[in-house]
Structures are given as C-alpha cells and as structure tokens.
C-alpha cells in the first residue's frame, strides 16, 4: 500500500503539484507581499475620492511598501530554511526563529496599521464623514479582536517552544 | 554530474521502499486528530524528495531518514500546537502483522499497546524512545537529535519511567 502511495506522490512531485507545510507558509507570505505592494496603487483614490490629505495617502502607500518588503524577505527566509535534514535540536531552533519572526511581523503590522487607521479615523471624524467613521470603527474592532487572539496564540507557542528548547540544551 | 529526473525517481523509490516501515512508524507515533497519518506521511516524503538532491552522504542514510521524518513530524505538531486522538485503522495494517491467533496475536496486542503509550509522550521523548527501540546506538541518536550522549541517556531514562507510569495508569 505504501509503495503505491510513494509512486502516486512521485508523479505529483515531478509535476510540482505536491507542497510541504513550509512551501505553503512561504507562499502565504508571498501572497501577503503581493497584497501589500498593491496598497500604494489605491492611495491616489484616498485623496481624490475620500478627501484625505496627501500626507495620509503617502503614509498609506509607505505602509504598503514596508509591509511588502518585510513579507517578501520573510517568504524568502522560510524558503531558505532547511529544518528537515538537520539534527532535531537545530530544527527546533529554526522553528523558534520562524515563529518569533512571525510574531514580530504580526505585531509590527498591527501597530503600524492600527496607527494608520486611527489617523484616518480622526481625520474622518474631523470632517464629520460619519459613514466612513462607522466603517473604520467596525474594521478597527474586528482587526483588534483578530490581532489580539492571533498574538496571544503565537506568543504562547513561541514561549512553549523556547521552554522546550531550553530544557533540551540545559540538561 | 547532474542527476536526471528518472534517476532521482528511481533512487527516491528505492530509498522510501527500503525505509517505509521507519517512516510509517514515526508518522504513526506523531499522528493525531490534527495531523492524520496520511498528511504526515506525505509531508515526510515530500521533504525527503526535496532533500534528496542535497544529501551528500555525510550522515548515514538511515540517520538522514530519521532526522527528516522526526523533524517534519515535530514541526507539524508545533504548528498545530496540540494533540488529539489518532486514527490508527490504516496504520495497524501497515506496521503490525495481520491478525493472528495464539501467542503471536498476544504479542501484536502488546506492541499496539506499547505504541499507544509511546504516542502519549512529549515529541522529543517520543523520538528518543522510537530510536532506542530500533536499537540505535547513543552515538546514532546523538547524530539524529543533536543532543549530547549524556543528555540522551538522562532523557531516555526519564522517558522510560514515564512509560512505566503510563502503563501502570492504563492497566
């Protein structure tokens, strides 16, 4: 039965249809890079259609570029990381690194994105554009809930991995 | 000289065929409700396929297979960060002989129970016990896990104690 599985998989591998979890994670950040790099394209619309000042549009574009660069770097970092053929302790160290960077990127994205949203929110409030304000509030609340949940899960995972690694190395 | 795709396929099938029980055993022990045996087995095979080109024979092929299988399963476990019950129907057919009668049936039942208890250990202890049961030397275990031989001995001793306690509780 296993031989048949191997042969089926080899045909998938030969055509590039099989992916590891690492490939999927790397592709996720590659997709995030594409999404982030598209943000600057929408910044002129912030000025022309929504009446935001130029400096807010510039910050919005900068946020997209910075997040894009970070996501691209991290996607390449994951692709280059070989954690399978090295000793288990080394593999755990690499897994901790990846999880830690994920947490940093998420924190940076939430903080800088949050600051940008608050800035836009305050501006919309000043101009009494209540429909925009309501949309911001809903988006902000959803973002905070998801962000806090993800951050806590990631933090506990990194802590657990670090503790285990420490116990392995120290004995 | 660059290895042709056909040669790589042949080599891959030969290696995975020779070590299929080893790969299946590791995947079996690490499978859970969040990581089915099939998922883990496929993940290990893809990583073996991707790593085959860079394997230079510095370590024994069995060491490389064990490292890849264990690291892949531990990383998968880390990503899911939880364990659950296992779906063992298919596995029992692969690792254990078909149902027999008399003493053999009793021995097989003991093996099943042993594997069930091992699967309840932590990820690193599980790897150490598996390697020890496969009669790997401390030196081999050191090469596979990256732990010092003293550390291997200490952790193995503790893992065996844990197994004894688990067996007593589950009796």
Question: Do the Cβ atoms of A5 and B147 come within 8 Å?
Answer: no
**Cβ(A7)–Cβ(B16) below 8 Å:** no
Name, of A144-148, B3-7, B37-41, B160-164, the range with top average pLDDT. B160-164
Last residue of a domain, one of A64, A80, A96: A80
Query: Percent of chain B at pLDDT above 70?
Result: 81
**Chain B closest CA to A92's CA: distance in Å?**
8
Domains in chain A, number: 2
Considering the domain architecture, whether residues A67 and A110 belong to the same structural domain is answered as no
Considering the domain architecture, whether residues A98 and A164 belong to the same structural domain is answered as yes
Facing A14 at nearest CB: one of B9, B70, B78 = B9
Instruction: Evaluate whether residue A112 is within a structural domain.
Output: yes
Of the residues A22, A24, A81, A87, the best mutation for testing chain B's interface (the one with the most B CB atoms within 10 Å of its CB) is A87
Considering the domain architecture, whether residues A93 and A163 belong to the same structural domain is answered as yes
Question: Do the Cβ atoms of B146 and A88 come within 8 Å?
Answer: yes
Q: Is B29 on the interface with A (CB under 8 A)?
A: no
Is the sign of the CA dihedral B31, B37, B42, B48 positive or negative?
A: positive
pLDDT bucket at B1, cuts 50 / 70 / 90: very low
Q: Is A19 on the interface with B (CB under 8 A)?
A: yes
Q: Mean pLDDT lowest for which of A25-34, A127-136, A139-148?
A: A127-136
Q: Which of B16, B40, B18, B15 is nearest to B27 (CA)?
A: B40
Whole-number pLDDT of residue A34: 95
Range of the domain at A43: 20-80
**Chain B closest CA to A96's CA: distance in Å?**
10
Considering the domain architecture, whether residues A70 and A48 belong to the same structural domain is answered as yes
Its ipTM equals 0.72
Whole-number pLDDT of residue A44: 92
Is the sign of the CA dihedral A96, A97, A99, A100 positive or negative?
A: positive
Considering the domain architecture, whether residues A69 and A95 belong to the same structural domain is answered as no
Please report the domains of chain B, with CATH numbers, ordered by start residue. 1-83 (1.10.1740.10), 100-171 (1.10.10.10)
Facing A88 at nearest CB: one of B43, B74, B122 = B74
Instruction: Evaluate whether residue A3 is within a structural domain.
Output: no
Q: Which residues of A84-110 are buried (b: 16+ CB within 10 A; e: fewer)?
A: bbbbbbbbbbbbbebbbbbbebeeebb
Reported as type and span, the H/E element at residue B142 is: helix B138-145
Instruction: Evaluate whether residue A5 is within a structural domain.
Output: no
Instruction: Evaluate whether residue A114 is within a structural domain.
Output: yes
Q: Is A149 on the interface with B (CB under 8 A)?
A: no
Considering the domain architecture, whether residues A132 and A92 belong to the same structural domain is answered as yes
How far is A148 from A158, CA to CA, in rounded Å? 15
Considering the domain architecture, whether residues A163 and A109 belong to the same structural domain is answered as yes
Facing B124 at nearest CB: one of A14, A18, A88 = A88
Bridge partners, residue B32, by sequence: B35
Dump pLDDT digits (tens) for B78-96: 666 554 445 544 455 555 5
Dump pLDDT digits (tens) for A133-150: 788 788 888 888 887 887
Considering the domain architecture, whether residues A131 and A149 belong to the same structural domain is answered as yes
Dump pLDDT digits (tens) for B110-167: 778 888 888 888 888 889 999 998 889 999 999 999 999 999 999 999 999 998 998 8
Largest CA distance in chain A: 68
Facing B144 at nearest CB: one of A9, A18, A88 = A88
Instruction: Evaluate whether residue A44 is within a structural domain.
Output: yes
């Amino acid at each position: 039965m296993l031989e048949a599985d191997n042969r089926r998989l080899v045909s998938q591998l030969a055509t590039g249809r099989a992916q590891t979890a690492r490939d999927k994670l790397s592709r996720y950040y590659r997709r995030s890079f594409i999404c982030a790099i598209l943000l600057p394209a929408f910044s002129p619309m912030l000025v022309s259609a929504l009446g935001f000042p130029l400096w807010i549009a510039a910050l919005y574009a900068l946020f997209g570029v910075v997040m894009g660069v970070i996501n691209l770097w991290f996607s390449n970092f994951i692709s280059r990381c070989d954690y399978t053929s090295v000793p288990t302790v080394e593999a755990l160290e690499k897994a901790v690194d990846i999880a830690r960077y994920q947490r940093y990127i998420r924190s940076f994205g939430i903080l800088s994105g949050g600051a940008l949203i608050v800035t836009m929110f305050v501006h919309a409030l000043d101009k009494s554009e209540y429909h925009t304000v309501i949309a911001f509030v809903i988006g902000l609340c959803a973002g905070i809930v998801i962000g806090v949940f993800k951050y806590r899960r990631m933090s506990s995972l990194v802590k657990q991995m670090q503790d285990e690694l420490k116990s392995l190395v120290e004995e | 000289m660059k290895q042709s795709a056909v040669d790589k396929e042949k080599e891959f099938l030969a290696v995975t065929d020779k070590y299929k029980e080893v790969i299946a055993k590791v995947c079996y022990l690490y499978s859970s409700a969040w990581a089915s045996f099939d998922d883990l087995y496929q993940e290990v095979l893809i990583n073996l396929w991707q790593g085959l080109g860079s394997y230079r024979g510095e370590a024994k092929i069995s060491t490389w297979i064990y490292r890849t299988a264990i690291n892949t399963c531990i990383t998968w476990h880390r990503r899911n960060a939880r364990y659950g019950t296992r779906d063992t129907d298919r596995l029992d057919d692969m690792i254990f002989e078909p149902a027999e009668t008399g003493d053999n049936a009793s021995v097989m039942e003991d093996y099943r129970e042993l594997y069930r208890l091992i699967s309840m250990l932590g990820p690193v202890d599980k790897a150490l016990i598996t390697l020890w049961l496969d009669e790997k030397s401390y030196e081999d275990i050191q090469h596979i896990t990256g732990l010092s031989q003293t550390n291997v001995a200490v952790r193995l001793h503790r893992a065996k104690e844990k197994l004894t306690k688990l067996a007593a509780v589950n009796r």
